[in-house]
Amino acid sequence: MQEGKTAVNNVIEAEHLRKAFGDIIAVDDLSFSVAAGECFGILGPNGAGKTSTIRMAYAFSPPSGGTLRVLGLDITREARAVKSRIGVCQQENNIDPDLSVLQNLEVFARYFDIPAAEATRRSRELLRFMALDHRENARAVDLSGGLIRRLVMARALLNRPELLILDEPTTGLDPQSRHQVWERLEQLRAEGLSILLTTHNMDEASRLCDRLIIMDRGHLLVEGKPADLVRRHVGRDVIEVTEPAEGLAAYLTERGVIFENLGLRLIVTVEDGRDLYREISERFCNGSGGCIMRTATLEDVFLRLTGRDLRE
Ligand SMILES: Nc1ncnc2c1ncn2[C@@H]1O[C@H](COP(=O)(O)OP(=O)(O)O)[C@@H](O)[C@H]1O
Ligand SMILES: [Mg+2]
């Protein structure tokens, strides 16, 4: 942290934030803050209110209630000033398909009154950073999904933002493209850029986010560091038993062990599973099924808190 800056240097402060679309309450009484230099995640199932929340943060849609300050500015009264200092990757890739890769950036630079020569210089630099320079003259319409996403990220960085906001940055990308995006985001964070992203990819959240919230149906469920959330809400070990032998559920209930019975699969969460794993393997895994022990993950937390029912 630079000298003179205090720990309470938040780039986002949301208090009792609310967004309503008629009768639908998309975001309800949501409070959170994002510290400078932090990568902060908003997680939740489909329809949880993630997009509604960050659209308010990038001054795309006004809050219906509560207060929201971005880079210290009130999002409603000072939207223009906020927009000039942030970068945004929306959920949909809204590039101009008829322009070339380079032109997409140069045209966008005009919104920020960046002089033409400087715009071209910065555009080329960002295309290099996003490993897109070899396609600078390609028409955007001819790019694959992964390349388009990299172009959108390059564009979001044109105005040298202090805060980068991304809505599901890797949804729909192939593994190579996804890792490419993750590496770039890690590099940007290492350079001190503050990042706010939504995702329902738990690997992404665990890898990138310093802190995160999980929300559902417009409400905040939990907030914390990924590892702390796993510890607090699941434990350390998870034992998964496929096609368990009869009597396992009763045995676990008797021992007061927390488990989830999905019929063909039974999932046990426990702080130290070593003894229990041995016991279960010997007594309840003799049939065709299998038994494994693994480390608990953020996905376990997510499913425990938001359930297994399909959304939308
Ligand atoms: N423009 C809109 N008009 C009406 N309802 C909307 C609109 N945008 C979002 N919603 C509703 O608000 C809720 C939250 O949506 P959204 O913020 O897109 O969730 P997420 O991004 O977490 O999937 C959903 O029920 C969705 O249908
Ligand atoms: Mg969304």
DSSP structure string for 258-272: EEEE-SSEEEEEESS
- The mean pLDDT of 123-134, rounded to a whole number, is 97
How distant, in Å, are the alpha carbons of 49, 196, 200 from that of 30?
10, 15, 19
* pLDDT band (50, 70, 90) for residue 31: very high
Q: From ligand 2's centre to the CA of 227, what distance in Å?
A: 24
Nearest ligand to the CA of 47 is 1
User: Whose Cα sits closest to atom 7 in ligand 1?
Assistant: 21
- The mean pLDDT of 10-33, rounded to a whole number, is 98
- The mean pLDDT of 113-138, rounded to a whole number, is 97
- The mean pLDDT of 195-218, rounded to a whole number, is 97
- High-pLDDT (> 70) share of the chain, %: 96
| Measured distance between the N- and C-terminal CA atoms of the chain, rounded to whole angstroms | 42
How far apart, in whole angstroms, are the C-alpha atoms of residue 99 and residue 285? 60
The pLDDT value given to residue 3:
47
CATH 3.30.70 location in the chain: 235-295
Mean pLDDT of the chain: 94
pLDDT in tens, 145-184: 999 999 999 999 999 999 999 999 999 999 999 999 999 9
The pLDDT value given to residue 245:
86
CATH 3.40.50.300 location in the chain: 10-230
The pLDDT value given to residue 310:
81
CATH number for 10-230 (one of 3.40.190.290, 3.40.50.300, 2.130.10.10, 3.40.50.10540): it is 3.40.50.300
Instruction: Give the residue, 289 or 26, on which the prediction is more confident.
Output: 26
Q: From ligand 2's centre to the CA of 233, what distance in Å?
A: 25
Task: Say if domain 235-295 classifies as CATH 3.30.70.
Answer: yes
Nearest ligand to the CA of 27 is 1
pLDDT in tens, 68-101: 999 999 999 999 999 999 999 998 888 999 999 9
The pLDDT value given to residue 112:
95
